[in-house]
Structure 1
Amino acid sequence: MSPAAGHDRFDAIVLGAGAAGLFCAATAAARGRRVLVIDHNVEPGAKIVISGGGRCNFTNIHTAPDRFLSANPHFAKSALGRYTPQDFVALVDRHGIAWHEKTLGQLFCDGSARQIVAMLMRECGDARFALGAPIRAVEHGDGLFRVTAGDGAYAAPALVIATGGPSIPKIGATGFAFALAKQFGLKLVEPRPALVPLTLGADEALFRELAGVAAPVTAMAGKARFSEAALFTHRGLSGPAILQASSYWRPGSAIAIDFVGDRPADWLLAEKQARPRATPRAVLAGLVPQRLADALAARLALGETLAACKDASLRAAEARLRRWSFQPSGSEGYAKAEVTVGGIATAGLSSQTMAARHLPGLYCIGECVDVTGWLGGYNFQWAWASGHAAGLAV
């Protein structure tokens, strides 16, 4: 009996019908490969559909390797260089999908994110799909990978792990990729939630009471700095600037927020000279919404008017406003995380093909790999680029 007896035979089996898996399948199918895509969800592209508020922030025109986190910051360069945002935009244009640029290079569909899923499915051509098929076993031997999923049994010399990370479990996300990677001898960089709201403890209750207030800030975690909006929530901090900083934040460490922006040094002293009778609350309201200004002024405990404040106190207040420290008690976890930082270690993979170095025929792509982009379309671009690299190799 042959090692694949009773199994439908393919050139490549892709586990996961998300962004990376679909793009890999499309690339391989275009090369004439017989491809099977397996997913436990009954519909493809679950994360694509909900992304960007339903309009899919499908790439970012400012994509560059320094916009990605990885234990090896050089790993993503090859794939990103060989499949660029301009390449994906050209594909979107060929399919007649209208799009627009929002802020910071983020590209969105004018219509629905489902247009991107439909485009990818068309691009997959003759690839076969086994959807709504939970994977029951994955084995390897005699140069073949054998997968039992749903009611089917399949075999191929190439297996692509594209099942993502555990972020957003409500759409079916799990840590399956990490368990499978361990099974096949690949190492992991500790996964953790990323692009995720942060929670504040009881000592920061004053700020938790500002739920719904947003302000333009610069959020800092370590050496990373992001200038966008921060949003105070009933549990802590969110908004684009905080989500960005969260990818660099580690439990037990602090994050800092600059509320002052581009105002010059000694800005409060200049305000004192210009408006000595103004209250600190009124001056801070020129920076941030009034409710936040009131909370900051209460914490700073300055005098009733600027004239009543010593210059040293104003300098100290400005310094704190430029680097206001928060000690998050945690994050809102994978349930609210847009992506996963960490994952399958790149040391065991080829940056050219995404292939496992020690096991011919095994590939890892997309979010399950230890490459995580900034907020704003970068993670989709990594999905397209890594999927393209593997799709050319299987």
Structure 2
Amino acid sequence: MNGQAFDAIVLGAGAAGLMAAAVAGQRGKRVLLVDHNPEAGRKILISGGGRCNFTNLGTAPDRYLSDNLHFAKSALSRYTPRDFIDLVEAHGIAWHEKTLGQLFCDGSARQIVALLLEECAKGQVRLAFGEPVSHIDYGDGLYRVMMAGTRHTAPVLVIATGGPSIPKLGASGFAYDLARRFDLGVIQPRPALVPFTLGEDEALFRELSGVSTEVEVHWKKAHFREAALFTHRGLSGPAMLQISSYWQHRTPIQVDFVPDAARGWLVDAKRAAPRQTLRRTLAERLPERLADALLDKLGMAGELGAQGDRALVRAEEALRRWAFTPNGTEGFAKAEVTAGGIATAGLSSQTMEARKVPGLYAIGEAVDVTGWLGGYNFQWAWASAVACGRAIP
């Protein structure tokens, strides 16, 4: 059965899809917004502990991963965190800044979803939620989208269905399957901002489940200084989630457990208080359970004065360059986002339109642009969506 003709059909009612539909609708375009979930913005609702970390004041292109590190520059420069803050404030939503430029709602993430739905309503966007797409084809300049036995058409199709992270919310690789059908390249998707798992040889650290401490973690040239959390399966916390986006399987990460300590601090501590124990000295900088585990691994105990200076220097270096080799991650089930995705080489950085497929656009997490933890991925969603919504003819 034939349905309605639209100017654009947007697939996916997450952050990017809602924003793109709203922008295009408010430009007078007839827009259909489709999602197989019965409600919009399911990932938004769980983000930021339910308060939605909706952007980051430190947004810059170098905070994103992509095969083309320049691709995100155009969209991010044309729709900034201040632009989204203005929208939030126009809707009367109170917000606050946490650490490292992260902005959150004072109330609930539902306020951001309500904002986006109100913006869609202003643009008279037609909503079709809880209706899975059964078939899509293209011909004679029109995309034909079949759902619930009805075929809708439009000269523009926007892929905003995200990646497969958090499948329990209905996430899948639908975007990549669709992109491949239209001969768009796909960079191998992988879990990002995801906890690490450790093998049996690191069982001692898995027994520290719940212990958290500030560290500086390194993988090749990437490094982050934030909290690390030991879990019953391995390593988590902001520092580990950040470095996981860069990490390659079966390679070591290096952890500095004493990033604030001056060089030679253990030898200096020995000079100042030779009768003090190593355990107490380390516990002044680290949680006691972690201090015990590290000293156990180092095979060291007793008073500082009983240790040779060289042994203390070696211990200090070990604490600064502690190597963990994760045996994997907790996968897409626990990943906050997906790295990789639809290759930027086939897209316009100005409009998000496919270079060789007229009227086909890809935005948000579906694209091979992945931000750091802390609101960066939402800002990419808003920016790429606005670029797309403004470009739809």
Bigger drift between 300-309 and 8-17 goes to 300-309
Tell me, yes or no, if structure 1 residue 121 matches structure 2 residue 117: yes
Match of 1:336 in 2: 334
Match of 2:242 in 1: 244
> What are the within-5 Å matches in structure 2 for residues 90-239 of structure 1?
90-124=86-120, 125=122, 126-239=124-237
Q: Do the aligned partners of 1:219 and 1:245 also contact (CA within 8 Å) in 2?
A: yes
- Structure 1 runs, 4 residues or longer, greater than 4 Å off: none
> What are the within-5 Å matches in structure 2 for residues 1-394 of structure 1?
6-124=2-120, 125=122, 126-394=124-392
* 1:302 Cα deviation from its structure 2 partner: 2.2
Name structure 1 gaps, 5 residues minimum.
none
Q: Do the aligned partners of 1:38 and 1:149 also contact (CA within 8 Å) in 2?
A: no
Q: Deviations over 1:7-50 (max 9, x none)?
A: 41000000000000000001101110000000000000010011
* 1:303 Cα deviation from its structure 2 partner: 4.2
Q: Deviations over 1:297-341 (max 9, x none)?
A: 111112411111111111111111111000101000000000000
Bigger drift between 149-158 and 18-27 goes to 149-158
Quick one: distance in 1 between partners of 2:296 and 2:272? 22
Q: Do the aligned partners of 1:79 and 1:386 also contact (CA within 8 Å) in 2?
A: yes
Name structure 2 gaps, 5 residues minimum.
none
Is the partner of 1:392 in helix, strand or coil?
Answer: helix
* 1:347 Cα deviation from its structure 2 partner: 0.5
Quick one: distance in 2 between partners of 1:71 and 1:313? 44
Q: What TM-score results when the alignment is normalised by the length of structure 2?
A: 0.98
Quick one: distance in 2 between partners of 1:341 and 1:295? 33
Is the partner of 1:343 in helix, strand or coil?
Answer: strand
Quick one: distance in 2 between partners of 1:196 and 1:346? 23
Q: Do the aligned partners of 1:11 and 1:34 also contact (CA within 8 Å) in 2?
A: yes
Give the paired residue count. Answer: 390
Quick one: distance in 1 between partners of 2:45 and 2:151? 29
Quick one: distance in 1 between partners of 2:374 and 2:149? 38
Q: What TM-score results when the alignment is normalised by the length of structure 1?
A: 0.98
Q: Deviations over 1:203-239 (max 9, x none)?
A: 0000000001000111112211111110000000000
* 1:151 Cα deviation from its structure 2 partner: 3.7
Quick one: distance in 1 between partners of 2:49 and 2:270? 44
Q: Do the aligned partners of 1:178 and 1:188 also contact (CA within 8 Å) in 2?
A: yes
Is the partner of 2:216 in helix, strand or coil?
Answer: strand
Bigger drift between 302-311 and 270-279 goes to 302-311
Q: Deviations over 1:182-216 (max 9, x none)?
A: 01100011110000000000000000000010001
Is the partner of 2:356 in helix, strand or coil?
Answer: coil
Q: Do the aligned partners of 2:164 and 2:172 also contact (CA within 8 Å) in 1?
A: yes
Quick one: distance in 2 between partners of 1:323 and 1:13? 51
* 1:152 Cα deviation from its structure 2 partner: 2.6
* 1:352 Cα deviation from its structure 2 partner: 0.2
Could you tell me the percent identity over the aligned residues? 65
Root-mean-square deviation (CA, aligned residues, Å) is: 0.9
Q: Do the aligned partners of 1:132 and 1:150 also contact (CA within 8 Å) in 2?
A: no
The one-letter code sitting in structure 1 at the alignment partner of 2:105 is C
Quick one: distance in 2 between partners of 1:348 and 1:38? 24
